Amino acid sequence: MTDLIIIDEMLLRRVIAHCESELPREACGFLGGVREPDGTVVRAMQWLPVRNRAQDPSHHFLMDGLDTVQCLMRLEPSLELVGLVHSHPRTAAVPSEEDLATEWHTLPSHWIVSLAVPGHPDVRAFAYMNKDGTIMYRPLRILSGAG
């Protein structure tokens, strides 16, 4: 199981900048990267933003299908999808019921960028897991540093 996720500080800044640029809409996208063979550590290395196609994009996100396919084509050959990112423009970085109902819950990490406090983005990452038909989440430790 994934417990720790590593992301380059510059990459994390780009993710946050994208989310801020989409306000007041929710932003979404994927992270490409690598994971240890035992699945304990994931390293995010590529940011792949996707347009939000939700009818009410200020309160929901729905990943654009064409963008998603193009992301997979732009994913560097040595990498795999290791994370899904979306923003919460007005609420805390905690998965909602709707978030937990995602079809992407097998991805090793789900990132939420809360922009509820202007100028102080709060980024948290979670692993989702299916326990007897109920999707639960647990926090992941984010390690972010330069280089």
In this structure, what token pair is assigned to residue 43? 């390293």
By beta-carbon proximity to Zn ion, the closer residue of 81 and 112 is 112
By beta-carbon proximity to Zn ion, the closer residue of 47 and 128 is 128
Q: Measured on CA atoms in the order 57, 105, 70, 21, is the torsion positive or negative?
A: positive
- In degrees, rounded to 5, the angle at the alpha carbon of residue 42 between the alpha carbons of residues 41 and 45 is 145
Distance of CA 58 to the CA centre of its chain: 17
Q: Are 20 and 121 in contact (CB under 8 A)?
A: yes
Looking at residue 115, its amino acid is: L
* Residues 53-82 interacting with Zn ion (rule: CB under 5 A): none
Please state, in angstroms and rounded to a whole number, the distance separating the CA atoms of residues 41 and 35.
6
* Residues 9-38 interacting with Zn ion (rule: CB under 5 A): none
By beta-carbon proximity to Zn ion, the closer residue of 41 and 116 is 116
Residue range at the interface with Zn ion (CB under 5 A); choices 46-54, 92-100, 124-132, 139-147:
92-100
The answer to whether residue 96 forms part of the interface with Zn ion (CB under 5 A) is yes
Binding Zn ion by CB under 5 A: which of 12, 71, 99, 110? Answer: 99
The answer to whether residue 40 forms part of the interface with Zn ion (CB under 5 A) is no
Residues near Zn ion (CB under 5 A):
96, 99
